[in-house]
Amino acid sequence: MSGGSNPKDFISIADWPRDAIERMLARAHELKELRKRRECFRSLEGRSILLYFEKPSLRTLVSFEVGVAELGAHPVYLPPTQVKIGERESLEDVARNLSRWCHAIVARTYEHQLVLDLAREGTVPVINALTDYLHPCQAMADALTVAEFGDRGRDRVVYVGDGNNVAHSLIHIAGRLGMRLTVCTPRDYRPDPRVLSWGAEMARREGGDLRLESDPQTAVKDAAFVYTDVWTSMGQEAEAEERRRVFASYQVNMSLLSAAPSDVRILHCGPAHRGEEITAEVLESPRSLVVDQAENRLHAQKAILEALLAGA
Ligand code: NVA
């Protein structure tokens, strides 16, 4: 985010004040309840929202498109096969043109800098729908899920796997909301040290707790939630074999869960690779919340859109 108390975009949860995040999460919960009663809240009637996705997407693309429509706005999907930003036209020209027609831009890109540049050059809010560095909308859905199935202020979330975009945004939201988080990765795959030191500082300030571990068995001992993500993120395919080797002992399987409390719940942002970072047995077990977590993307993103566009 750039722009203080009147944010123009939603680049990183790290820049949002705690009360703004809590308000969005409360609204997400409310929107979820309204939807159960088939009451759609058309708060963004007449707006158009641009969806630019360079990387593949199931959950993010569909939940944004459905969410935009349910809020009474119009989604415009722009695939990179039509316009690859920076190739057919400069980023500046694309951002300025889009800002004249659309009320917000939702962008999933390889390079994080591209989303920052869109926000700088455009005049409408830019929502990060995943970059190589961050996945903030996922983290909002994660916080919503933890509150729904546990106690967000007390329960420990233990993230096991790669210190990637999902881990970064999880550290951001846990820091802001004073959550208890353990990040367990191989030593060479830890999250960005800048994100870790920010997370540690925020934990001190907001009453949370951020731990760094490298042994999964130790990490999950006091887990209320065990969270994992793919070992090979989009764009890292050439490293897949090496990563399978490095992360082999980080698989979330029944043996690892036997070291965790018996009522531990399982989170995964998807897409899940059964037999790699998580076994089918764990994914399909009653402990798994992954489909609830995916549903919450919809409610969280609707709340984000409303927060950014109400009154715009
Ligand atoms: N870390 C994964 C998340 C996918 C939603 C990736 O970037 O591919």
1 in a structural domain? no
Question: Is 260 a domain residue?
Answer: yes
d(CA 140, CA 237): 27
State percent of the chain over pLDDT 90: 90
Check whether residue 156 and residue 283 sit in a common domain: yes
Q: Are 108 and 129 in contact (CB under 8 A)?
A: yes
Q: Is residue 312 part of a domain?
A: no
Is 157:177 a contact under the CB 8 Å cutoff? no
Q: Looking at the structure, tell me whether residues 218 and 279 fall in a common domain.
A: yes
Residue range 130-182, pLDDT digits in tens: 999 999 999 999 999 999 999 999 999 999 999 999 999 999 999 999 999 99
Are 249 and 142 within one domain? yes
Q: How many structural domains comprise the chain?
A: 2
67 closest CA partner among 36, 110, 31, 100: 31
Domain of 27, CATH number, reads: 3.40.50.1370
Ligand 1 within 6 A of 69 CB? Answer: no
Same domain? 203 vs 246: yes
What pLDDT sits at residue 40?
Answer: 76
Q: Does the CB atom of residue 272 touch ligand 1 within 6 A?
A: no
Q: Going by CA atoms, what residue is nearest to atom 8 of ligand 1?
A: 233
pLDDT value at residue 264: 98
Range of the domain at 62: 7-134+297-306
Please, what is the average pLDDT of the chain? 94
Are both 217 and 151 inside the same structural domain?
A: yes
Residue 251 CB less than 6 A away from ligand 1: no
- Let me know whether 97 and 190 are in one domain: no
130 and 144 inside one domain: no
Angle at 84 between CA 82 and CA 89, to 5 degrees: 100
HEC profile for 116-163?
A: HHHHHHCCCCEEECCCCCCCHHHHHHHHHHHHHHCCCCCCEEEEECCC
| Residue pLDDT, tens place only, 55-103 | 999 999 999 999 999 999 999 999 989 988 988 899 999 999 999 999 9
81 and 211 co-located in one domain: no
Kindly give the number of the ligand 1 atom that is closest to the alpha carbon of 130. 7
Ligand 1 centre distance from Cα of residue 45 (Å): 31
Catalytic residues: 108, 135, 138, 229, 269, 297
Whether 114 and 198 share a structural domain:
no
**Nearest residue to 187 via CA among 213, 220, 210, 164:** 213
